[in-house]
Structure 1
Amino acid sequence: MKQKRPAIFYLDLLRCVASFAVVAIHVLGPFRYLYGEIPDSDWLAAMGINSATRWAVPVFIMISGALLLSSDRHFNCEHYLSKRLAKVAIPFVGWSFIYAFVGGFVAGSWSSDLTMKMIENSANEPVWYHLWFFYDFLPLYFVIPFLAPLLKKISPELSKLIVIILLLLFLMNWLKVESFLRQNLVLYTGYLILGWYLYNRDNSKELKYWLIAGVSMLLLNFFGSWQLALENGQYSSFYMGYKTLNTVLIAAMLFVLAQRYANKIRGKLRMLISVIAKYSLGIYLLHPLLLIPVRDLDNGYYAWFGSNWLAIPIIALVVMLLSLLCTILLAKVPFFKRLVP
């Protein structure tokens, strides 16, 4: 009988917190570029939460690297394409059509021409803002089958050197040093390898170093972004990149922290975290639908809380839980089940 891979709770915890972080990034989205137009406290809340959550997408990629690059399953092309790749590709295509249909609504009426234009352009640009992830994530599935057997053969010392080289590449990208290696496929493959590396070793001895590096980068993100805004009079995304050294160090810190302390979580909270993790892809795909009215600042949803320091995390939590409920319900319908795996 085929045995299912046992759940690894610290990876579930990472999926859960990354899901919340992604939703929070999209909740705060309308405020990032309003420096000087809204109260400083509200802008600082949006910028600060943004600077503290940019690791979310990289963590999802690291989890994929940890599991897919460590698999002992003998490679079977048909199984890989129909089970692994299709599990991500089918939801991407399906939700692209859904969001194209939604995007066709303008001023209370639906335009088929606008929907068709969005579908036609989807080969090169995402139909909805959050779907950009799949344009960089899907190509990684064609790297993994070639990368996995190579990593199994290298020594621990060589794997350390590879990680050091990757960190240098992320630094080069952050500083915009010209190189043919500054390609999305190369850098996101770096996250796959980092996830594999941390997953397959005991990181307890290095935990304090990852902690120092990660916390330092979190502080740099917040105060650095604030300083750039003061100097330039506008928001800067310099510290917000997904493929920069600061984000890598924060993501790695969270990975090893979860690895070390996740099993201290017990009871109903542990069960809830596992449920959220199970439906994390569905939450990612569905939650922007719930945010359509929220992100319209004229509706005043944020103002209910009096401060963005409260509004952003509370709205993010509520939207994540509502998205979870919707995803669970959709998963019970055979027609929609493959759209929310």
Structure 2
Amino acid sequence: MSAPRQEIFYLHLLRAVAAIAVIAIHVLGPFRQMYGEIPLDAWFSAVAINASARWAVPLFMMISGALLLSSSKPFDAQYYLQRRLGKVVVPFVGWTLIYLAATSLLEGPQAGLTALIALNTDPAWYHLWFFYDFIPLYFVIPLLAPLLKAMSEEQVKLLVVAWLTLTLMHLLKVPTPLSQNLILYSGYLVLGWYLFNHDTRAQWRYWIGLGVAALAINWVGSYLLTAEKGSYNALFMGYKTLNTVLIGAMIFLLAQRYAEAVGPRLRRWVTSLSTYSLGIYLLHPMLLIPVRTAIERHYDAFGHPALAIPLITLVTLLVAWALTALLSRIPLVRKLVP
């Protein structure tokens, strides 16, 4: 059974914080590659923020699982393809063309042509990779929904544990034919649906404890592995690994438990940010082009990363939010920022 309508605000809160976290990850991108080039505390500040925010993209998948797998409406393939899938495919295609044009302007027509030819394996811009893995999930959802509804809660728990084991194997690089993106990302759909529809109060402290432990492992592990290698090591930053799953589940449950404490005025802003989150995701890297270039060339001009990253993230968020809201009111382009 789906959660009562009044409880769904926490999903808006989750979308909002995920949108902010994604921007922060993209702002700090140049800093994390500067190990040995900038003071250790400056580098670690950026990596600590990165290690604390990797749940952002998986959280969007969990929210999709929570809502789409919980739908009680009879499945209509035409409606689903046009309204549900189309809402994602149209902006993906549109922004792919926009970023191909940006590549041509910034790096020359040949670079744009090369990027166009490589679209079957490489996105036109770094953040568009998400759609290569997210769009296929829309074909999994109609198959998963009836299966989950037919399963008992104990069977679903077993399925979640099996998937958690698979994400641990992926982290440890244990070879298995099941370690495929479609399977690993589909697990986020199931986890989101499970946390949304089941009473997790008895498990709450375990999820929170494991999430905090995973955060600590991200921070310490990333530092130790990077120090050993002599360059940035991203082992703990994967989206399909157990540590990221545990942190994502913790964030989901924290929002579920405490979102109702948000006051009505802030709630309106959170809901607005959530509404425009996809457009913000698609648009904000355009704003960061000069910023990331400047950081790579003159990182010290921005001050300490512990302050610079949150500040740049906030400014980028506000501008992207305003632009997305504006574009959504223009009939010819509103489908690009649904």
**Would you say same fold, with TM above 0.5?**
yes
Q: After alignment, is 221-230 or 246-255 more displaced?
A: 221-230
User: Which residue in the other structure is 1:119 paired with?
Assistant: 116
User: Which residue in the other structure is 1:104 paired with?
Assistant: 104
Q: State the Cα distance separating 1:26 from its structure 2 match.
A: 0.3
Task: Flag structure 2 segments of 5+ consecutive residues without an equivalent.
Answer: none
Q: After alignment, is 311-320 or 300-309 more displaced?
A: 300-309
Measure, in 1, the Cα distance between the counterparts of 2:33 and 2:293: 15
User: Which residue in the other structure is 1:11 paired with?
Assistant: 11
Q: After alignment, is 278-287 or 226-235 more displaced?
A: 226-235
Matches within 5 A, 1:213-252: 213-252=210-249
CA contact (8 A) 2:295 2:302 kept: no
Q: State the Cα distance separating 1:270 from its structure 2 match.
A: 1.2
Q: Percent identity?
A: 54
CA contact (8 A) 2:31 2:295 kept: no
TM-score (norm 1): 0.95
Q: Deviations over 1:302-326 (max 9, x none)?
A: 6455210000011111101110000
User: Which residue in the other structure is 1:315 paired with?
Assistant: 312
Measure, in 2, the Cα distance between the counterparts of 1:264 and 1:115: 48
Say whether 1:289 aligns with 2:253: no
2:180 alignment partner, one of 183, 188, 204: 183
Measure, in 2, the Cα distance between the counterparts of 1:304 and 1:269: 33
Measure, in 2, the Cα distance between the counterparts of 1:15 and 1:298: 28
Q: Deviations over 1:147-166 (max 9, x none)?
A: 11111110011111111111
The 3-state SS of whatever aligns with 1:338 is helix
Measure, in 1, the Cα distance between the counterparts of 2:128 and 2:329: 24
User: Which residue in the other structure is 2:82 paired with?
Assistant: 82
Q: State the Cα distance separating 1:106 from its structure 2 match.
A: 3.4
Measure, in 2, the Cα distance between the counterparts of 1:6 and 1:116: 49
The 3-state SS of whatever aligns with 2:325 is helix
Over 3 Å counting, the alpha-carbon distance change for 1:13 and 1:271 in structure 2 is: same
Q: Which has the higher helix share?
A: 2
TM-score (norm 2): 0.96
Measure, in 2, the Cα distance between the counterparts of 1:161 and 1:7: 26
Measure, in 1, the Cα distance between the counterparts of 2:337 and 2:22: 17
The 3-state SS of whatever aligns with 2:336 is coil
Over 3 Å counting, the alpha-carbon distance change for 1:123 and 1:202 in structure 2 is: same
Q: In the alignment, residue 244 of structure 2 is paired with which amino acid?
A: T
Task: Flag structure 1 segments of 5+ consecutive residues without an equivalent.
Answer: none
User: Which residue in the other structure is 1:23 paired with?
Assistant: 23
Say whether 1:148 aligns with 2:158: no
The 3-state SS of whatever aligns with 2:236 is coil
Measure, in 1, the Cα distance between the counterparts of 2:323 and 2:46: 27
Q: State the Cα distance separating 1:216 from its structure 2 match.
A: 0.5
Please tell me the root mean square deviation across aligned C-alpha atoms, in Å: 1.5
CA contact (8 A) 1:294 1:301 kept: no
Q: Deviations over 1:109-136 (max 9, x none)?
A: xx43432332232122100000000000
Measure, in 2, the Cα distance between the counterparts of 1:112 and 1:173: 39
Q: In the alignment, residue 87 of structure 1 is paired with which amino acid?
A: K
CA contact (8 A) 2:69 2:145 kept: yes
Measure, in 2, the Cα distance between the counterparts of 1:101 and 1:305: 29
Matches within 5 A, 1:250-269: 250-269=247-266
User: Which residue in the other structure is 1:40 paired with?
Assistant: 40
Say whether 1:62 aligns with 2:68: no
Q: In the alignment, residue 136 of structure 1 is paired with which amino acid?
A: D
CA contact (8 A) 1:217 1:249 kept: yes
CA contact (8 A) 1:173 1:182 kept: yes
User: Which residue in the other structure is 1:166 paired with?
Assistant: 163
